[in-house]
Structure 1
Amino acid sequence: METSKIITIPNHWTSPKYSLGQHTKQGIIVGVQYYLFENLLAPERDGSWRYAVLVSSEDEQVDYIPESQIRLLSSPELRLEMESEIDFCQRKIQNLQQHLETM
């Protein structure tokens, strides 16, 4: 069972626009980090969010991308990506089932 986690963001920070697990043109968001500007003692100065994006699941390549450079997938692009991921998983299940049958 998965437990809920609550993350509190200080009032003087902006909220992140994107969330963990969200698919973008660059990849899947796997992390979020807030970067303060030079003066840590000035809460009125906004910082910025950066996202850890899994660019390639094959070699686990992660890029860190500023919020302003994140580009979301269109609905058709997201649908195509999801269908591709489903096909991949179904092939993997079939391969595992075949392997089980040969045991």
Structure 2
Amino acid sequence: MESVISIPQHWNNPAYIFGQRTEQGEIIGMKYYAPDTYLGRQYGEGWRYVMLPDKNQEDEEHQDEGKVKLLTPEQLKTLLQAEIDYYSRQLEHMKFQLRTMPVTVATTESTAHNEAPTQPHKKTWESPPTLESFIDAAQVILKQISQHPDFVTLEYQPDLTITDAQTALSYLNDELDQQSAAIVKGSD
């Protein structure tokens, strides 16, 4: 069943919708200050939007409807393409994990032959994983190392830190993204 939101007829309709992407972030909530309420008299009648500037953070911002700025079509296209690229890399990484997962297969023949099952066979990948999937995996491993209790209690002061390694991987990933964008742009 599809969800339906009903707005009282004496309220103005909102100009924006849930999930819409704006310059201030994605709209994750809305509230209406009616003119006959304390909030409406104090702050003015109208819609207020709850914005999530960064989906990886818990901080949210509240914006008056008049201050919400939509992304231009070019900005929205760039943002969506970056998300598609990110999730494509994540998908490739998960496919890589599936392909490299050891798979054992045991078969038995007719008991009339009294043969033991064949030895398990390990499956290998058909094509090598992408560099992006290795970078993503390395980022995950570095994060797990930095949060591991043994590492946290270790009084280790190297010249290069785990954060330095994470930054280097981010730079490498950015370089790959720029190279991919240049290739795509060149093929247009």
- TM-score bucket of the superposed structures, by smaller chain: 0.7 to 0.9
The aligned amino acid for 2:83 is E
Question: Between Structure 1 and Structure 2, which shows a larger proportion of strand residues?
Answer: 1
Give the structure with higher Rg (CA).
2
How far has the Cα of 1:16 moved from its partner?
Answer: 0.2
Aligned residue for 2:104? none
| Higher-RCO chain (CA-CA 8 Å, sequence separation at least 6) | 1
Aligned-residue CA RMSD in angstroms?
Answer: 1.8
Percent identity, aligned pairs only, is: 33
Aligned residue for 1:63? 61
Q: Is 2:76 the partner of 1:78?
A: yes
Greater shift in the superposed pair: 69-78 or 92-101? 92-101
* Candidates 28, 37, 40, aligned match of 2:37: 40
Query: Which of structure 1's runs of 4+ aligned residues deviate more than 3 A?
Result: none
Local SS of the residue matching 1:18: coil
TM-score (norm 2): 0.47
How far has the Cα of 1:47 moved from its partner?
Answer: 2.0
* Candidates 12, 15, 28, aligned match of 1:14: 12
Task: Say whether the 8 Å CA contact 1:13–1:47 is kept in structure 2.
Answer: no
Is there any run of 5+ residues in structure 2 with no aligned partner, and where? 39-43, 102-188
Local SS of the residue matching 2:71: coil
The aligned amino acid for 1:31 is G
TM-score (norm 1): 0.83
How far has the Cα of 1:17 moved from its partner?
Answer: 0.2
Local SS of the residue matching 2:63: strand
Local SS of the residue matching 2:53: strand
Local SS of the residue matching 1:93: helix
Task: Say whether the 8 Å CA contact 1:53–1:65 is kept in structure 2.
Answer: yes
Aligned residue for 1:92? 90
Aligned residue for 1:53? 51
In structure 2, how many angstroms separate the alpha carbons of the residues matched to 1:54 and 1:99?
Answer: 31
How far has the Cα of 1:36 moved from its partner?
Answer: 2.6
Question: Between Structure 1 and Structure 2, which shows a larger proportion of helix residues?
Answer: 2
The aligned amino acid for 1:21 is G
How far has the Cα of 1:59 moved from its partner?
Answer: 1.6
How far has the Cα of 1:31 moved from its partner?
Answer: 1.2
In structure 1, how many angstroms separate the alpha carbons of the residues matched to 2:45 and 2:27?
Answer: 19
How far has the Cα of 1:100 moved from its partner?
Answer: 1.6
